[in-house]
A and B are shown apart, each in its own frame.
Chain A
Amino acid sequence: MRFPLSAFLSFLALANNVFAKSSTGDSVLVVIDSSLQKEDYSKFFGGLEERGYQLTFRGPKDTHPPVEQYGIPGFSHVILFTPETKFVVASRCERALSIVIPAYTFDITPQSLVGLLSEGTNLLVTLSTKQTPLSSLSAEFSLIPPPPGTPLVSHHPARSEPATVVPIPVPESPLLTPGTPPVWFSGVPHAFGNSPYLVPILRATSESFAADSFDDSGADTLVDASEKVGEGLWAGSQLGLVTGFQTLKNSRVVFAGGVEMFGDEYANKTLPDGAPSGNEKFVRDVTAWAFRETLALRIDNTTHHRVGEEGSPEKYTTNDQIIYTAHISAYDPETSSWKPYSGITDMQLEFTMLDPHIRIALPPVTGEPGKYQVQFRAPDRHGVFKFVVDWRRKGYSFLQTSTTVPVVPPRYDQYPRFLSAAWPYYAGAISTSIGFFLFSALWLAGDVEGKKKKGLKTE
């Protein structure tokens, strides 16, 4: 989180230092549209290369290098600076008419991009006001694009720039450097669906709205729209401008509403109050998150054992005291290494057999970085249980682990056989036996007597 500033400082100090690299790889494919000039984004691309990424550029129509070959992604990260590129829909017709429209080759499709994400590749996607395959793709990630041709418009604050070029204050977020100045934004906003995996990074200002007419003549339409319910008006801080999405495989994709915010022009443009804009810092933070430099966590290992024992037993007995330990690391982009991380305070451990029989806080151990430990009593229930840690917080890598252990009832010699509560029953059984012996003895004695009596009588 503090990385960009300190990385900058270390850059000043040691020019040949090894800089931030992603936790998943350094190769980046930049698919850049022919209408965009690479030089216009020199600060952005230069910043990436400075941080240790190897950039490979290709146009959307090029076939080389391939995004994916034989099912294996060719790059760790893909940047799609193709906000207006469409698919080839009727290529034969266009060839006949020799119309040149921006288009992708066969290997960049929504399906292939989703496939890349499921293979662990990270994406940075830029959108525009035009209806493109990428805006359709964003809908698959629970972003709701506005109607085509409706950029974000704001008349506040008063400035010389057009109303569609809006300075946006940067909110507080774990993945952004605190104190980043407002950023210039020009592009399309989006509303949020209800996917829990969305990570809103930048939201529109409350005075801004999406409209297809930028001058005052369209004001009446807007007023009408605002009186409608539902999707009548796209306005306010509920709209997102830059939004991340983290998949269940922890790969990350960022949808940015416009490509201009990455450019040199906005990085150099001063804000209405004369201060420098925060674009450069902001896009660095966004790419650092998207390329899994920041907020990247992992579980190194988990162990479990009985209190007072070393090593994991094959099985536990009901009511055993169990100690569960997890070691968690966070990626440190400054040293390109994983470091123990004790910053999680709200993690929970579940001991489940279908249902969590026990759900207990798994707190960090003070003095031992990266170690989280808890002791608990196994439930009085035997069966096949699982230690489950499932920690999902917005922006952070999801932490999931599951260990299966059997819990068995005590063996025959592991619990007392005779209990004081059962003494009436024991006494009953014993007294019956004693009674039986006494009875038998008396009976036999009586038999002898009876014979004697009989004998006497008969004699």
Chain B
Amino acid sequence: MAPAKSSKTPVASETSVALTTMWKSYIQHTSDRLKLIDAFLVFIMFSGIVQFAYCVLVTNFPFNAFLAGFASCVGQFVLTASLRAQVNPENRSEFNDVSPERAFADFTLGSIVLHFFVYNFLG
């Protein structure tokens, strides 16, 4: 990127600077637990994208399998995102009566129920 820098692309360079700053800030200021959650979210997102692309480009047959696989990604994403919101120390004021342990227990129970339905619907 360095040789491409020129006066023609001030906006691009500004954007990349902003992104770099944001990334550094994220690395520095985010706790390890939230990073773990974020990594999991990214994995689920890519899994969902791959399945949707396969459905659109190759086949949606059997459709119930697609629904189960895709719904497991979406549902897991939602549950994990909820967990992230509840355990984030910055949101402490909003989830005052929900301890992180309680949030994780909710997340686990929700995920187990979700996977129970997914595997029933998969075959």
Contact = CB atoms under 8 A, between A and B. Distances in A.
Interface stretch (A126-134, A209-217, A373-381, A436-444): A436-444
Contacts of A158: none
Given A418-B123, A435-B40, A428 B33 contact: no
Interface in A397-425: 417-419, 421-422, 424-425
Contacts of A429: 68-69, 72, 115, 118-119, 122
Contact of B33 (A427, A440, A450): A450
A433 interface: yes
A187 B5 CA distance: 112
Contact of B51 (A428, A436, A440): A428
Interface string A237-266: 000000000000000000000000000000
B40 A439 contact: yes
A74 B108 CA distance: 89
Identify which of B50, B80, B119, B122 gathers the most chain A CB atoms within 10 Å of its CB: B122
Contacts of A440: 108
Interface string B37-54: 100100110011011001
A264 B29 CA distance: 125
A419 B115 contact: no
B36 interface: yes
Given A428-B72, A439-B40, A422 B66 contact: yes
Chain A interface helix/strand/loop/mixed: helix
A433 B115 CA distance: 7
Contact of A428 (B47, B108, B123): B47
A446 B111 contact: no
A425 B66 contact: yes
Interface string B55-73: 0001101100110111011
Given A422-B62, A428-B50, A417 B123 contact: yes
Contacts, number: 76
A432 B59 CA distance: 21
Nearest to A428: B69
Contacts of B118: 429, 432-433
Interface residues of A, number: 22
Contacts of B104: 443
Contacts of A450: 33
A422 B65 contact: yes
A333 to B, nearest CB: 61
A426 B32 contact: no
A240 B69 CA distance: 75
A440 B105 CA distance: 10
11 contacts: A418-B123, A424-B50, A425-B66, A426-B122, A427-B69, A428-B47, A428-B70, A431-B43, A439-B36, A439-B37, A443-B33
Given A427-B69, A435-B40, 12 more contacts: A418-B123, A419-B62, A425-B68, A426-B65, A429-B68, A429-B69, A429-B122, A431-B47, A432-B72, A433-B72, A442-B36, A443-B33
